[in-house]
Amino acid sequence: MAGATRKQPMFLERESYRRRRLGDAARLVPFTGLVLLLLSGLWTTTAGAMIYIFVVWAILIVVIGVLSVRLMPLTEDSDEAEPSVPPER
């Protein structure tokens, strides 16, 4: 495995670099969402909590919507340039 990793260039071109960071952003979304949703407990009124939760929810939908549209071309054939996980444990 190490051999395959070594063959990759150390730095990527600007475009590939952007695409990888886009994938990183998509990975961050669920965790950010989880943290924000766990904060719902801070609201003392049900109505307040409801509004907060639905706002966070809507933001998550919009953010992942924007990211997914850009990530779409990277699925299927085009993602061999994208090592998504550390290779071997």
Partner 1 sequence: MSFNLLVTICLLYVVVLFAFAFWADKRAAAGRVGWLNSPLIYTLSLSIYCTAWTFYGAVGYAARSGMEFVTIYLGPTLVMVGWWVLLRRLVRIGRTQRITSIADLISSRFGKSNMLGVLVTLLAVVATTPYIALQLQSVTLSFNVFATTPGANLNQTAFVVAVGLAAFTILFGTRNLDVNAHHHGVVMAIAVEAVVKLIALLAVGIFVVFILAGGPGPMLDVIAASPIAEQTIRPERWTVLIGLSAMAFICLPRMFQVMVVENSDERHLATASWAFPLYLFLMSLFVLPIAAVGLNVLPAGSNPDLFVLTLPLEFDRNTLAMLAFLGGFSSATSMVIVAAIAVATMVSNHIVMPIWLSRQQGGATVSGDVRHVVITSRRLSIAALLALGYMYYVYSGGSGALAAIGLIAFTGMAQVLPALVGGIFWRGATRTGAAAGLTVGFAIWLWSSFLPSFGDASLIPASVYAEGPFGLSYLRPQALFGIEGLDPLVHAVFWSLLLNTAAFCLFSLLSFPSPLERLQGAAFVNVFRYSESAPGWTGGAAEAEDLLMMSQRIIGASEAQALFAEEAKAQGKLGYLPDVTPAFLEGLERKLAGSVGAATAHAMLMQITGGVTVSVEDLMRVADEAQQILEYSNQLEAKSQELGRTAQQLQEANEKLVALSVQKDGFLSQISHELRTPMTSIRSFSEILMRGETMAPEERQRYSQIIHDEAIRLTRLLDDLLDLSVLENGQVTLNNGEVQLDAILDRAIAATEQPDGVLTISRDRMREAISLYTDSDRLAQVFINLISNVQKYCDADDPELRIEVGDNGSRKIVDFIDNGSGVSAEAESVIFEKFSRGTDHRAAGGAGLGLAICREIMKRLGGDISYVSGQSGAAFRVTLPAAQAAAA
Residues that bind partner 1 (CB under 8 A): 4, 23, 26-27, 29-31, 33-34, 37-38, 40-41, 43-47, 49-50, 53-54, 57-58, 60-65, 68-69, 71-72, 75-76, 79-80, 82-85, 87-89
- Closest contact distance (angstroms) between CB of 48 and partner 1 is 9
Asked if 51 and 42 count as a contact pair (C-beta separation under 8 A), the reply is no
Nearer Cβ to partner 1 (9/84): 84
